[in-house]
Amino acid sequence: MARPNSRDRELRERAAAVIPGGMYGHQSVGLLPDDYPQFFERGEGAHIWDADGTRYLDFMCAYGPNLFGYGHPEIDAAYVRQLGLGDTLTGPTALMVELAEAMTAMVAHADWAIFCKNGTDATTMALTTARAHTRRRTVVRANGAYHGAAPWCVPRPAGTIDSDRAHQILCDYNDVASLAAAVAEAGEDLAAIFAAPFKHDAFIDQADPDPAYARRARERCHHTGALLVVDDVRAGFRLARDCSWSRIGVQPDLSTWGKCIANGHPISALLGSDKARKAAGSIYVTGSFWYQAAPMAAALATLRLIRESDYLERITALGERLRTGLGERASAAGFALRQTGPGVMPLFLFEGDPDLRKGFCFSSEMLARGVYLHPWHNMFLCAAMTEADIAGALDTPEGAFEALTRQIRDLARGEKLAVLSAGAR
Ligand code: PMP
C-alpha cells in the first residue's frame, strides 16, 4: 500500500474520486506492487522522483520514451526554442519535411513518413494503409503481442464488439508453421502480417526473433502482395539505428515508431516504402495536434544524437553488465532468475514463481532501496545511465534477495508475504 500519510496516498484517494478506477492503462491500480508510487514530481537523466520526493534509478524510462535522459538539455532546448516560435499552428512548419527526410534517410526500408502522436495512431494507420493498398481485409499477427489500445487490438475487450476484431488471424510468434497456417487460412484476403521486432509480451519470457520466422513473413507478403509491418514503437532505436529487423536482414514495407523518437516529446510515425506510398496517400488520417512543431524539433535533435553519439554501444554494454551482475547475485543468493530479451530491454522472471509473488516482492525490495524495476513488463536502459548507476543497482540486490529469502521463510511458516499486506513497510 502507498505509505500512510504520504502525498502519493493522498493523491490516490483524490484520484479515486475523479479518475475512473483511480488510474487507467498501464499504471492502473493493482498492476504493480502496492508500495509502488502512483504519482511522480520530476525526472532528470536516469532518475525519477515520486510525489513524496523519493529518488529512484528508473529502469522503466517512461515505458520507453526516455532514451537520452529526462530533461536532456540539447533536446529540450530545441523543443523550447520551437515552442517560442509556435507549436500547434494552422499547419505544419518546415520541420515536418526535415523530419521526414531525416527518418527516411535513417530507416533503410522507408521512403516516406506520416507523423502522429501515439504508437496506436501509427499501428492503426499501418492497418488502414495495408487494407487500402491490397483492398483486402485480413491481418495476421501474433498471439499476445501488444500493438496499442484501439478497438482492433486492445488486449482487454471491455467495450469492444466482435466486429472490431474481425478479419484477424492470430499465430504464435517465431513459430513458422503457425505463421504459414495463418497465412494459408487468410488465403486471398491477406492484407498484412504484423510483427513485433522481438517477442516482448508482458508476463512471459521474451524471445529474439527467429530469422526463419521473419524471412517467412517477408516471403509470404512478397508472394501474396500483402504488406509486412514491423511494430517498432517500443524497441525502435534501442536495438539499431535503423528498423530493428535490419539486424536480421529483413526489411518490412511499413514500420511504426513512437516512444523514444523525440526522447519523450509527443510524436510517433508510420514509415513506409514506395510500394505503399499511393495507399498511404489515399487514406484520411489526421489529428488536432499531429502537426505540432515543437515535438518535431525535439525529434530532429534526438535523431541527431542517435546518428552521431555512441549511445547504442553504451546502453548495450550497460545492459550486458546488468544482466551478468544480476545473474551472479541471484545465484549467489540461491535464486534462479530467467533473464530474457535484449540486455537494453531486459525482463527478469523468477523460476518457480507462477503467481509472480517472488517478482513482486523482489521489485518492492529494490524499490525500497532506490531502484525502480518492473516485475512483469520488459524494462529499458537509457543513455543517461552510467557505469556507476549500474554498479550501484548491482550493489542493491543482495539486501533485496536476503529480504526475499526471509519473506519466503516467513511464508513457509504460514505468514503472508509482507509485500501483500497493507502498510508492511
Ligand atoms: N506497439 C507497441 C509494440 C507498444 O509497445 C506500444 C505501447 N506500449 C504501442 C504499440 C502503442 O503505443 P502508444 O501507447 O503510444 O499508443
Q: What is the pLDDT of residues 118-176, one digit of tens each?
A: 999 999 999 999 999 999 999 999 999 999 999 999 999 999 999 999 999 999 999 99
- 234 C-alpha vs ligand 1 centroid, how far in Å? 6
240 and 111 in a single domain? The answer is yes
Whether 422 has a pLDDT exceeding 50, the answer reads no
Mean pLDDT computed over 10-38:
94
**Is the model's pLDDT at 318 over the cut of 60?**
yes
Domain end call among 285, 308, 331: 308
Q: Is the CB–ligand 1 distance for residue 147 below 6 Å?
A: yes
* Nearest ligand 1 atom, CA 148: 11
Domain boundary (278, 308, 338) is at 308
Ligand 1 atom closest to Cα of 63?
Answer: 8
Ligand 1 closest atom vs CA 235:
3
To the question of pTM greater than 0.85 for the whole model, the response is: yes
Task: Output the CA 262–ligand 1 centroid distance in Å.
Answer: 15
C-alpha cell at 195: 510483427
Q: Is 209 in the pocket of ligand 1 (CB under 6 A)?
A: no
What is the distance in A from the centroid of ligand 1 to the CA of 423?
33
CATH code of residue 295: 3.40.640.10
Q: Is the CB of 120 under 6 A from ligand 1?
A: yes
Instruction: Read off the pLDDT of residues 110-126 as tens digits, 9 standing for 90 and up.
Output: 999 999 999 999 999 99
Does residue 232's CB lie within 6 angstroms of at least one atom of ligand 1? no
What is the domain count for the chain?
Answer: 2
Q: Are residues 325 and 354 in the same domain?
A: yes
Cell numbers 513518413 label which residue?
113
Does residue 423 register a pLDDT over 70? Answer: no
170 within 8 A of 182, measured Cβ to Cβ? yes
For 345-392, write each residue's pLDDT tens digit. Answer: 999 999 999 999 999 999 999 999 999 999 999 999 999 999 999 999
Regarding whether 273 and 146 lie in a shared domain, the answer is yes
- 188 in a domain, yes or no? yes
- Interatomic CA distance for residues 107 and 231, integer angstroms: 13
Does residue 127 lie in a domain region? yes
Same domain, 255 and 174: yes
Nearest CA to ligand 1 atom 14: 119
Using the mean position of ligand 1's atoms as its centre, give its distance from the Cα of residue 152 in Å. 13
What's the rounded Cα separation, in Å, for the pair 165 and 151?
7
Give the C-alpha separation, 218 to 228, whole Å.
6
Distance 156 CA to ligand 1 centre (A): 14
Ligand 1 nearest-atom number relative to CA 200: 3
- Is the Cβ atom of 118 under 6 angstroms away from ligand 1? yes
Distance of CA 143 to the CA centre of its chain: 17
Do 336 and 263 lie in one domain? The reply is no
| Residue 333 and residue 269 share a domain | no
The residue contributing the CA closest to ligand 1 atom 5 is: 234
Q: Which atom of ligand 1 is nearest to the CA of 234?
A: 5
Cα(183)–Cα(296) distance, rounded to whole angstroms?
Answer: 38
Are 288 and 148 in the same domain?
yes
Is residue 237 domain-shared with residue 368, that is, in the same domain? no
Residue 327 placed within a domain:
yes
User: Are residues 398 and 332 part of one domain?
Assistant: yes
The number of the ligand 1 atom at minimal distance from the alpha carbon of 117 is 15
- Which of 26, 28, 121, 146 has most ligand 1 atoms within 8 Å of CB, for mutation? 146
Tell me: do 206 and 296 sit in the same domain. Answer: yes
Query: Which CA distances in Å does 321 have to 52, 316, 324?
Result: 31, 9, 5
Residue 183 in domain: yes
Ligand 1 contacts CB of residue 233 (under 6 A): yes
Q: Tell me, in angstroms, the distance from the centre of ligand 1 to residue 333's CA.
A: 36
Residue 101 lies in a domain: yes
Contact 32, 203 (CB under 8 A): no
- Domain boundary among the residues 308, 336, 371 is at 308
Please identify, by atom number, the ligand 1 atom nearest to the C-alpha of residue 26: 8
Q: Is 2 contained in some domain?
A: no
Supply 205's cell numbers: 519470457
Residue 1 falls inside a structural domain: no
- pLDDT tens digits for range 244-288: 999 999 999 999 999 999 999 999 999 999 999 999 999 999 999
Residues 17 and 78 in one domain: no
Q: Tell me how far the alpha carbon of residue 255 lies from the centroid of ligand 1, in angstroms.
A: 13
Q: Which residues does residue 272 pair with via DSSP β-bridges, in sequence order?
A: 112, 254
Atom of ligand 1 nearest to the CA of 118: 15
Q: CATH number, domain at 38?
A: 3.90.1150.10
274 and 199: one domain? yes
Look up the domain containing 365 and give its range: 7-63+310-421
Is residue 231 lining ligand 1, measured as CB closer than 6 Å? yes
296: in domain:
yes
